[in-house]
Amino acid sequence: MKAIHKYRLEGPQTANRIKLKEGARIVRSEYLVTEKAVFIWVEEPLAVEIPSQPRLFYVVMSGEPVPEDYCYLDTALDPFGPEAYHVFEAPEEELNLSAA
């Protein structure tokens, strides 16, 4: 079985370290006006034996530079403003560096 979970991302340019089950995939991002924050929805397996692993996400504003090795996931728009928030995942190597 699997389920979709919701996670809040701090940003912009803040490292968001989230432990997700192996095989988890981001299915949506959205800027929630009531929370004034970007959230991601993640499809995750529910089996207890599947290990979790930390992953590193960043929220980046339009026009801001992003390292070449970051993986673009989705864009969340503020429906009442001009802002666009782009969600990227940092490579595993950066995750290991940020833990040190």
Per-residue pLDDT of the chain (100 residues; tens, 9 = 90+): 999 999 999 988 799 999 999 999 999 999 999 999 999 999 999 999 999 999 999 999 999 999 999 999 999 999 998 999 999 999 987 776 655 5
Structural domain boundaries, residue 93:
2-99
Strand order of the sheet with strand 37-45? 2-9, 37-45, 25-32
Q: What is the pTM of this model?
A: 0.89
Q: How many domains are contained in the chain?
A: 1
Question: Residue 100 has what pLDDT?
Answer: 53
